[in-house]
Amino acid sequence: MSPRQWFKGNLHTHSTNSDGDAGPQHVAGWYGQHGYDFLVLSDHNHLTVIEDAAEHAGDWPMLLLGEELTVAATGRPVHLNGIGIGARIEPVTRDTVTEALQANVDLVRAAGGLASINHPNYKWAFDDRAMQAVEGVWAFEVFNGHPSTNNLPAGGRPGTEQIWDRLLSGGKRILGVATDDAHHFKGEFGPERANPGRGWVSVEAEACTPAEIMSSLEAGRFYASTGAVIGALKNEKTEIVLEIEPRSDEACTVTFIGSRGRELWRVDGNTARYRPSKLDTYVRAFVQTSRGTRAWTQPVFVSG
């Protein structure tokens, strides 16, 4: 068995096959030039396949096929990614957000993919109440780099982390991903544009092949990041240990979070350790750096 390594990937991005401003080859090239190991070109209701991708194996990331299933239910946008699917899916709508999510999650699973619910706070479409009853969801976006996705809590509305903790506290086993949802690869980059490079996952796997990456994603052997780098991670029921690799002199704080979003333990420094107790139902770690970058480990389910 080869030792596991970290592989960096973006699970959500667009090209001219939907509403992105650059062709799929340009998009794959951007991610290749910026150190990504794998990429999902997730165009709206379109399966982007680059026929000659094998010829670019050295300069492009490994491409996992995916699609952003995009519908509206009761006038609200319902978007979810099917990751690792083998063929295009025709998404369906239903009379409620919950039913629309469920129907499309079922289609993704039937196509052999992982279903990830995208940007719940985009246009304030829905929150945990619509997601709690949906079965078979693999993950949701705890961070989306598009400027209109309202990741943080404000105005009395829950941020994505609050949504996550409510789902987890309600007994739902759902993972968290960070993504770019990039649309803009051309022209000047800025905070009002949906540029690439803002959110990604780092996956621990034995090799960067579709099968290995899919297997690690499904098992939760990854963390989500907007820049913070975790060099070593033990994420088990008995013990959670993070070793952060700071960039230059950046300072780090790690917070361990449990049921109902409660702070269980906080560590200032680059190494943090927590031993879950029998009273913890789940524990997840959140990293904040002085640079403003963040990282989220996957929840460890302690009971059951």
Classified as helix, coil or strand, 106 is helix
- The two tokens of residue 269 are 């420094």
CB-count exposure of residue 263 (10 Å: 0-12, 13-18, 19+): exposed
- Measured from the CB atom, the residue of 193 and 273 that comes closer to Zn ion is 193
Instruction: Enumerate residues 2-21 that contact Zn ion by CB under 5 A.
Output: none
Are 166 and 159 in contact by the 8 Å Cβ rule? The answer is no
Q: What is the largest CA-CA distance in the chain?
A: 53
Q: Looking at 66-74, 163-171, 197-205, 292-300, which segment touches Zn ion (CB under 5 A)?
A: 66-74
Q: Does 118 sit near Zn ion (CB under 5 A)?
A: yes
- Measured from the CB atom, the residue of 67 and 68 that comes closer to Zn ion is 68
Locate all alpha helices (DSSP H) within 111-250, ordered by sequence.
Answer: 128-131, 160-169, 210-219
Judged by CB under 5 A, the residue of 37, 181, 204, 212 near Zn ion is 181
Q: Looking at 56-64, 118-126, 154-162, 258-266, which segment touches Zn ion (CB under 5 A)?
A: 118-126
- The two tokens of residue 222 are 């990854």
Neighbouring CB atoms inside 10 A of 84's CB total 22
- Measured from the CB atom, the residue of 120 and 258 that comes closer to Zn ion is 120
In the complex, least distance from residue 42 CB atom to Zn ion, rounded to whole angstroms: 6
R_g (Cα) of the chain, nearest Å: 18
- Measured from the CB atom, the residue of 37 and 181 that comes closer to Zn ion is 181
Q: Does 79 sit near Zn ion (CB under 5 A)?
A: yes
- Measured from the CB atom, the residue of 181 and 212 that comes closer to Zn ion is 181
Q: Which residues bind Zn ion (CB under 5 A)?
A: 68, 79, 118, 181
